[in-house]
Amino acid sequence: MSALAEELLAVMAAGVDRPPSEPEFNRLALTVFAHQFAHNRPYAAYCRARRRTPETVSDWRQIPALPTNAFKEADLTTVAPEAVRVVYITSGTTRGEEKRGRHLLPDTVLYDASLEPNFRAHLLPDRETIRVLVVGPSAKYHPHSSLGHMNSRVLERFGTAGSGIFWTDTGPRFGCLAAALEKAEAEGEPVCLLGTAFGFVHFLDWLEGEGRRFQLPPGSRIMDTGGYKGRSREVPKVELYGLYSAALGVPESHVVNEYGMTEMGSQFYDEVLRDSLRGEPIPPVEGRVKIPPPWVRTQVVDADTLQPLPDGEVGLLRHHDLANLHTVAAIQTDDLGVARGEGFEVLGRASGAEPRGCSLAVEEFLASR
Amino acid sequence: MLLAQYFPPSLDPGNPPAEGVTRTGYRYLRTTVTPEFASRIVAELAARGPVLQACSRERILACLDTLHRRWAKTGSRLRGEAVEALHAATGYARASIDASLRQLFASLDRRELEGWFHAAGILPTALDGFTTVPRGDLSVFGPSLGVLIASGNIPGAALPSLVQFLLLKSPLLVKTSGEEPVLLPLYARSLAEIDPELAAGLAVTGWDGGDTAIEAKVFDAADAVVVYGSDPALASVRARLRPHTRFVGYGHRLSFTLLTREVLGEADLSSLAQAVAMDYCLFDQQGCLSPQAVFIERGGEVSPERFAEALAEAFEKLAGEIPRRKLDTDEAAAIHQYRAGVEMRALADERYRYYASDPGTAWTVVVEPEPGLFPSPLNRTAILRPLEDAEEVAAHLASWRGVLISAALEATSPRRERLSDLLAAAGVTRITHAGKAQEPASALYHDGINALVHLARYVLREP
């Protein structure tokens, strides 16, 4: 473990409420950049082409943010190939013909160190442990999914007896999940459901087909993640949250949306559960704000010039995640967002937009082959 | 604010027009179409049929010839107004719009329109009554009601279809896109200035594409439907037409440029690069005729790598003369993501070349050594694909057969002829020159069909 990694672990261990000062964050970010510039060759070349090197950069905002697409084309890691032990792969579209992004790590030490305090603060502000029910990927069945690792890690770290995984490599186990919910209901034991939004949509459809509903014990909560564009059907967020309440008995105040990406070691969560437990008003379903953990900075940049935008203007999200020590800390996403105060709102994925023009677009090219 | 609709004077829209807005923020007025109003529009248009039928072919040709000259002439007031409004509504450079409209209207002169009739086998007098042909007497009619659904990407793209309905004396309902609601109402109004009776067979308006309640009223009344749009939009319309309704669909298509070694000389380098760049800059690669790739043959005086450099210079120059429209977030993001991918691939493969505007996404030039054809993220992204021999292009086109449309071919005789044969066999329906991609010489055979033949109803009275 390098001294730099130790320093980062200490920042994470201090939790989300004790952020390093801005100069301290800047110092760490520049040190991480110097490390990545020295050891991540493709990224160093990208930075050199922009004349941004550890010698020329004095502010973390000047560190070149690498578009996520680069992870599909190059091995963007600071560790030697033989030292790569963990490979997370982007999910891509259902057709799966295109290249997929790869996040190559020597271990999950920083990932886990970033995950735990952040998850605890946003999903378990009121308790140490909970019965965790996973309705999405897991490390066991999806070893190359970072979300799978996260779900499994949460289960190991915070899950009590009766926790379990209800999604295998062959798909969902809704019957077993319903049985687990029934059991929790009967025992009065609150649960934490972890899953993807589209997975929950499927489950809710299934429940409706079965004519079943639950009133999960008070304190039960849901963490949903990701969109479900292009899946069986799209459900507006307001409607989905209504269904969580009607079919599972989990109120809006206890539904926490998570936003993360394969290329990042840290995640973002809605503040809603933390806030509501502190007695603050519950924000509406649409427009909830996520505040980055102290070891991450998020900017919203103009999609054309890539220059930072003021609060309230829609642009692309750019994250500077120190948990990415072993790869690239500055990540330029194609996710749409808007800065709001200390945090940001996620508005969707730019690449999911309807193509315009009568030139054939990528999707249609693939479809027409 | 522009009233972005045209109705026959006899038709009262009832409600006052409501405000619409394009993605550039351009505001216009348009009466909200309800299913009830749609029914009234088609009934009113259908009632105009006999009046139109009584107009002679000569009257229509003369009117359109005069009208199109007005639009095409230097300093045209009509074109000037349209250019300003279209620039505001679409964001395309004024120079792009002006050049393309001028060329479009200049091409739609009397000689061209007579040529359309000829190519469709419509004898000069057959539109006005029975005319003797070898096997009897022939008379030609248009649809008793036509519907034209225009797309928003290229101003004027659907105009030749509108003209075809007029030539066939058909009442026509035109649906414009909410993104380009400008040109066709202006055209209809300008027609009314010359021949109000002819224009009274025309209604131009708009509604949300795919509104089944409105479209059921419209499609059930129509004999012929012409659609410009995405492939899913075409399929959706087609599925809702009665079996005997004539249908012409112009969907998504693929175009490209092909440069052979003979034309790649230092002397003509900058003019050739300028012409190739122009095809990308006019309408920012949004049209079906816009190139998706430049196939470039090795072995010429100028290498593909050298050409890429010249092309980058041409783009930089044109960025000032024909500024690209402001992109949506998703479009700009796609270009940055694409560029990053290319930069990474170039690190591992020195055959790549990469030039890009900075800052911003105004233009991108890439020499892509991997064979095959693949889409670019558009909006002035030129991907050069070197070939050892130009004839290899056929292999790269094979999987795109059916969606190919236009090839800008630069070659000298006899290779030009040889390659034309090869491109035609591969599925291309238009072979043109670099710099002419957006200026088709004739709209008659657009997309490889003669639409007039599809729309006309030929009646033969046997002896």
Question: Using a CB-CB distance cutoff of 8 angstroms, which residues of chain B are in contact with residue A303?
Answer: 327-333, 336
Residue A334 touches chain B, beta carbons under 8 Å: yes
- The two counts, helices (H) then strands (E), for chain B are 17, 18
pLDDT for residue A169? 85
CA dihedral angle for residue B353, residue B359, residue B360, residue B364, rounded to 10 degrees: -10
Select from A70, A72, A356 the Cβ nearest to the Cβ of B153.
A356
Query: Residues B218-231: pLDDT tens digits?
Result: 999 999 999 999 88
| A351–B153 C-beta distance less than 8 A | no
Beta bridge partners of residue B202, listed in sequence order: B172
Select from B343, B361, B403 the Cβ nearest to the Cβ of A304.
B361
pLDDT for residue A96? 46
The complex's ipTM? 0.89
Ranges of chain B whose pLDDT falls below 50: none
For helices A41-49 and B329-348, angle between their N-to-C axes, nearest 10 degrees: 120
Q: Locate the chain A residue with the closest alpha carbon to B345.
A: A73
- What span, in angstroms and rounded, lies between the C-alpha atoms of B271 and B273? 5
* Cβ(B187)–Cβ(B60) below 8 Å: no
Residue A94's CB: how many other CB atoms inside 10 A?
Answer: 7
Q: Largest Cα–Cα distance in chain A?
A: 65
Residues in chain B: 463
Select from A69, A350, A359 the Cβ nearest to the Cβ of B287.
A359
* Residues whose CB falls within 8 Å of the CB of residue B331, separated by 6 or more in sequence, listed in order: A303, A356, B377, B378, B379
DSSP structural state of residue A247: I
Q: What are phi and psi of A40, to 5 degrees?
A: -110, 95
Contacts 24+ apart (CB under 8 A), B122-131: B122/B452, B122/B456, B124/B57, B125/B57, B127/B57, B127/B167, B127/B168, B127/B169, B128/B56, B128/B57, B130/B459, B130/B461
For helices A41-49 and A22-39, angle between their N-to-C axes, nearest 10 degrees: 110
- Nearest partner of B447 among B384, B405, B397, B400, judged by Cα: B405
pLDDT of residue A353 exceeding 60, the answer is no
pLDDT for residue A236? 85
pLDDT of residue A365 exceeding 90, the answer is no
Which tokens belong to A261?
């990406």
- Mean pLDDT in residue range A9-36: 97
For Cα atoms A151, A157, A163, give the angle at the middle one, nearest 5 degrees: 65
* Residues whose CB falls within 8 Å of the CB of residue A367, separated by 6 or more in sequence, listed in order: none
Question: Using a CB-CB distance cutoff of 8 angstroms, which residues of chain A are in contact with residue B282?
Answer: none
Q: Locate the chain A residue with the closest alpha carbon to B23.
A: A356
Half-sphere exposure of A336 (CA within 13 A, CB side): 18
Contacts 24+ apart (CB under 8 A), A182-185: A182/A214, A184/A131, A184/A133, A184/A216, A184/A217, A184/A220, A185/A214, A185/A215, A185/A216, A185/A217
Given phi > 0 = left and psi -120 to 50 = alpha, else beta, which region is A51?
A: left
Mean pLDDT of chain A: 90
pLDDT for residue A368? 41
**Which residue carries 């007039």 as its tokens?**
B452
Closest Cα in chain B, distance from residue A196 (Å): 24
CA dihedral angle for residue A75, residue A80, residue A83, residue A88, rounded to 10 degrees: -10
Closest Cα in chain B, distance from residue A41 (Å): 9
pLDDT for residue B30? 95
Query: Residues B242-267: pLDDT tens digits?
Result: 999 999 999 989 999 999 999 999 99
Residue A164 touches chain B, beta carbons under 8 Å: no
* Cβ(B335)–Cβ(A316) below 8 Å: no
Residue A97 touches chain B, beta carbons under 8 Å: no
pLDDT for residue A97? 54
Closest Cα in chain B, distance from residue A84 (Å): 20
Residue A113's CB: how many other CB atoms inside 10 A?
Answer: 21
- Nearest partner of B56 among B102, B124, B114, judged by Cα: B124
- Mean pLDDT in residue range A45-64: 97
- What span, in angstroms and rounded, lies between the C-alpha atoms of B2 and B8? 17
| B252–A359 C-beta distance less than 8 A | yes
pLDDT for residue B452? 96
pLDDT of residue A366 exceeding 50, the answer is no
Query: Residues A189-247: pLDDT tens digits?
Result: 999 999 988 889 989 999 999 999 999 999 999 999 875 444 446 788 899 999 999 99
Query: Residues A281-317: pLDDT tens digits?
Result: 999 998 899 999 999 999 999 999 999 999 999 999 9
B246-250, strands of its sheet edge to edge: B202-205, B172-175, B146-149, B224-228, B246-250
Q: Given CA atoms A251, A252, A253, A258 in this order, what sign does their dihedral have?
A: positive
pLDDT for residue A350? 64
* Residues whose CB falls within 8 Å of the CB of residue B380, separated by 6 or more in sequence, listed in order: B280, B281, B284, B285, B315, B324, B362, B363, B364
Q: What are phi and psi of A177, to 5 degrees?
A: -65, -45
Q: Given CA atoms A270, A273, A274, A276 in this order, what sign does their dihedral have?
A: positive
Question: Using a CB-CB distance cutoff of 8 angstroms, which residues of chain A are in contact with residue B340?
Answer: 46, 66-67, 69-70, 73, 332
In terms of DSSP bridges, do strands B381-387 and B404-410 run parallel, antiparallel, or are they unpaired? unpaired
**Which residue carries 């020329």 as its tokens?**
A56
- Mean pLDDT in residue range A333-350: 90
Closest Cα in chain B, distance from residue A114 (Å): 27
Q: Locate the chain A residue with the closest alpha carbon to B150.
A: A358
What's the pTM?
0.91
The alpha-helical segments, DSSP class H, found in B240-376 are 269-281, 304-321, 329-348
pLDDT for residue A24? 97
Higher pLDDT among residues A169 and A158, named by residue: A158
Higher pLDDT among residues A100 and A255, named by residue: A255
pLDDT class of A363 with cuts at 50, 70, 90: very low
pLDDT for residue B14? 87
| B347–A357 C-beta distance less than 8 A | no
pLDDT class of A92 with cuts at 50, 70, 90: low
Residue A316 touches chain B, beta carbons under 8 Å: yes
